[in-house]
Amino acid sequence: MSIKSVILAAGKGTRMKSQTPKVLHEIYGKTLLGYVLDSVKNLTKENFVIVGHHAEEVEKFVKDNYANAKTVLQSPQLGTGHAVSMVCPSLENYEGLVLILCGDTPLIQEETLRKFVEHHKSLNSDITVMSTIFDDPTNYGRIIRESDGSLKCIVEEKDATAEEKAVKEVNAGIYCLDWGKIKSAFSELTSNNAQGEYYLTDIIEWGKNRSLNVNAYILKDNREIYGINSRINLAQATKYLNERVLTKLMTEGVTIVDPYSTWISDDTEIGQDTIIYPATYIEGKNKIGKNCKIGPCAHLRGGVEVADNVKVGNFVEVKKSKISSNTNVGHLSYIGDSELGEHVNIGAGTITANYNPITKSKNKTVIKDNAKIGSNTVLVAPVTVEEGANVGALSVITKNVQAWALALTRTPVRIIENWVKKQS
Ligand code: UD1
Ligand code: MG
C-alpha cells in the first residue's frame, strides 16, 4: 500500500527566540526538518510539508534539498487538524496510508516508523496514533483509554481535568491514517476547546464515533519523540542523538575514548578499530575507514572521506576532503577542499588556503602519494603537489610542484656570530 507523509511545520516556534524558523535550526549542520524528511525518505513516495510562519524560508529549504517533498501553505494557523486539512485538495483521490509527523521532532527513526506502519497494517487499523510514557507528561496531550484498555480519546493539557493530567501515556504527535476512510474528518473537526484550535487529536473520537478501528502504538524510547521548543531542548536533543550515535559506533567496534566529550553526527560512518580521542567534533556527512586515529580535539566538518590507517591528530580541522590510506595529518592543520594520496605526511601547522575572498570561490589542493609537506606550510589553492615531492617547512606554495621535486620558499638562515655578546 502506498504511503505519503504530512509533516507539520507551520507553527511559530516563539520560544526559540530566533529570526530563523524553528524547523530550520540545526543539529550537526542538518536542519530539524531535514531529520524528519530523512526519516521518511525510504518509506514514502511523496511528502507534504505544511508551512506557515517564515513560510518562504522553509519552502526554499524544502525545494532546494528534497525533490520528493512539496510545501503547502497554512495561513492563518488554526491548529494541527487545520494544518492537515490543507493537504485535502492534493489528496482528494488518494486511498493509501498517510503518515503524519511534526517538523520539530528530529529524533524519530526510520526503523521506528517502519514498525509503526507495520503495526497499523497488522491490526488492520484505520487510525493509529503513536504514544509513549513520560514520568512528567506536562504539556503533552494525554491518551485516555476505556476501562477495557482500548483508546477513548486524546485530551490536551489545557483541556484536561486533574484526573486526566495524572495520565502518563501521551500522544507522540505521529499518526498513521487510512486516508480513504479518514479524509472526511478534516471538514468535520470543530474548534470547541480551550485553545480555540482545530485539533488533529480529535480524529480519535471522530473515528470511534464511526466505529472505525482506532489503535495506539506505544513507543518504548520516549527520547525519539523529543520535541524542540527552545534552545534548551535543542541542546538536549543533540545530546540524545549523540548518545545514540556513539552507542551504535561502539557496538560496531569503534573505540570512543571519552563519550562525554565526543560529538559525532548520525551521518558519519566509521570503520572497525578506529579510535576517536576526546574532544572531537564530527558534523555533517563523513566516512572514516578502519584503524584510524582521530583527535584528540579534531574537527571534521562534513564531506570528509578518510581511508584506512589514517591519522587526523590534535587540533586538525578537515572539511570536504579525501584522505587516502596510511596518511598522517598529525597536528594543528587545516585541510579543506583537498585530496590527499596514500602515505602522505602533513607537517604540523599546514594550511590549505582554499578560499579566495575576492572571487569568493573555493579551490582545490591535490597532494599525491608519498608527498611530504613540511611544517607551517601554506598551500595556496588551486595547487597540486605531485607524487613523492617534498615541501620545505614554512613554505608558501603558489605553484604546482613536480613529482619528486623539493619546493622551498623559505628565506635562508642568517647566522651572525657572537651577536648576543656584542649587545652588552
Ligand atoms: C501536539 C498535540 C499533542 C501532542 C504533541 C506532541 C494537538 C492538538 N496536540 O501538541 O497531543 O502530545 O503535539 O508533540 O495536535 N502546527 C501547524 N499548524 C498549526 C499548529 C501547529 O503546522 O496551526 C505544527 C507545529 O509547527 C508543530 C506541530 O504542528 O510542528 C505540533 O504543534 P504544537 O503547537 O507544537 O502542538 P502541541 O501543543 O505540542
Ligand atoms: Mg509541540
Q: Measuring CA to CA, which residue among 121, 111, 107 is closest to residue 176?
A: 121
Q: What is the dihedral of CA 64, 65, 68, 69, to 10 degrees?
A: -70
- pLDDT of 424 reads 85
Q: Is 235 part of a structural domain of the chain?
A: yes
Residues 319, 245 share a domain: yes
What's the mean pLDDT in 327-355?
Answer: 98
Task: Tell how far the Cα of 206 is from the centroid of ligand 2, in angstroms.
Answer: 22
What's the mean pLDDT in 203-222?
Answer: 97
CATH number at residue 237: 2.160.10.10
* Cβ atoms within 10 Å of 360's Cβ, excluding its own: 7
Give burial (CB, 10 Å; 0-12/13-18/19+) of 59: middle
Residues 194, 248 share a domain: no
Q: Which of 7, 80, 84 to mutate to test the pocket of ligand 1 (most atoms within 8 A of CB)?
A: 80
- Name the band, by pLDDT with cuts 50, 70 and 90, for residue 357: very high
Q: Is 417 part of a structural domain of the chain?
A: no
Alpha-carbon span 326 to 328, nearest angstrom: 7
Q: Is 180 part of a structural domain of the chain?
A: yes
Instruction: Report the atom number in ligand 1 closest to the C-alpha of 141.
Output: 11
Which helix (DSSP H) or strand (DSSP E) does residue 7 occupy? strand 3-9
Residues 286, 200 share a domain: no
β-strands 46-51, 311-314 pairing: unpaired
Q: Is 415 part of a structural domain of the chain?
A: no
Alpha-carbon span 381 to 362, nearest angstrom: 8
Q: Measuring CA to CA, which residue among 244, 242, 309, 247 is closest to residue 274?
A: 309
β-strands 383-385, 406-407 pairing: unpaired
Residue with CA nearest ligand 1 atom 13: 173
Q: Is 420 part of a structural domain of the chain?
A: no
Please count the CA atoms within 13 angstroms of the CA of 322 that sit on its side-chain side.
10
Question: What are the DSSP E strand ranges found in 52-113?
Answer: 69-73, 97-102
Residue with CA nearest ligand 1 atom 35: 11
What is this structure's pTM? 0.93
Residues 33, 150 share a domain: yes
What's the mean pLDDT in 55-62?
Answer: 98
Residue that finishes a domain, picked among 184, 205, 225: 225
Q: Is 132 part of a structural domain of the chain?
A: yes
Residue with CA nearest ligand 1 atom 39: 140
Q: Inform me whether the pLDDT recorded for 350 exceeds 90.
A: yes
Residues 203, 56 share a domain: yes
Ligand 1 pocket by C-beta < 6 Å: which residues? Answer: 8-11, 50, 52, 74, 77-80, 82-83, 102-104, 140-141, 154, 156, 170-171, 173, 199-201, 227
- pLDDT of 124 reads 98
- Residue 196 belongs to domain spanning: 3-225
- Name the band, by pLDDT with cuts 50, 70 and 90, for residue 108: very high
CB 168, CB 206: distance < 8 Å: no
How many residues are present in the chain? 424
Alpha-carbon span 77 to 82, nearest angstrom: 7
209-244: b (≥16 Cβ within 10 Å) or e: eeebebbbbebeebbbbbbbeeeebbeebbebbbeb
Q: Inform me whether the pLDDT recorded for 1 exceeds 90.
A: no
- pLDDT of 410 reads 87
Residues 187, 243 share a domain: no
Q: Which of 49, 102, 191 to mutate to test the pocket of ligand 1 (most atoms within 8 A of CB)?
A: 102
Alpha-carbon span 277 to 290, nearest angstrom: 15
Residues 379, 293 share a domain: yes
Task: Tell how far the Cα of 66 is from the centroid of ligand 1, in angstroms.
Answer: 23
Residues 316, 205 share a domain: no
Residue with CA nearest ligand 1 atom 11: 141
What's the mean pLDDT in 391-401?
Answer: 97
| Angle subtended by helix axes 32-40 and 55-65, to nearest 10 | 40
**What's the total number of domains in the chain?**
2
Residues 189, 203 share a domain: yes
Residues 58, 203 share a domain: yes
CATH number at residue 115: 3.90.550.10
- pLDDT of 12 reads 86
Q: Inform me whether the pLDDT recorded for 135 exceeds 90.
A: yes
Residues 394, 262 share a domain: yes
Q: Is 413 part of a structural domain of the chain?
A: no
Question: Which grid cell is 55?
Answer: 513560510
Q: Inform me whether the pLDDT recorded for 361 exceeds 90.
A: yes
Q: Is 102 part of a structural domain of the chain?
A: yes
Active site residue 331: yes
What's the mean pLDDT in 65-94?
Answer: 97
Residues 166, 92 share a domain: yes
Instruction: Report the atom number in ligand 1 closest to the C-alpha of 104.
Output: 30
* Cβ atoms within 10 Å of 252's Cβ, excluding its own: 11
Catalytic residue among 53, 120, 299, 331: 331
Spatial neighbors of 353 by CB under 8 A, at least 6 apart, are: 378, 379, 380, 381
Q: Measuring CA to CA, which residue among 395, 357, 368, 359 is closest to residue 379?
A: 395
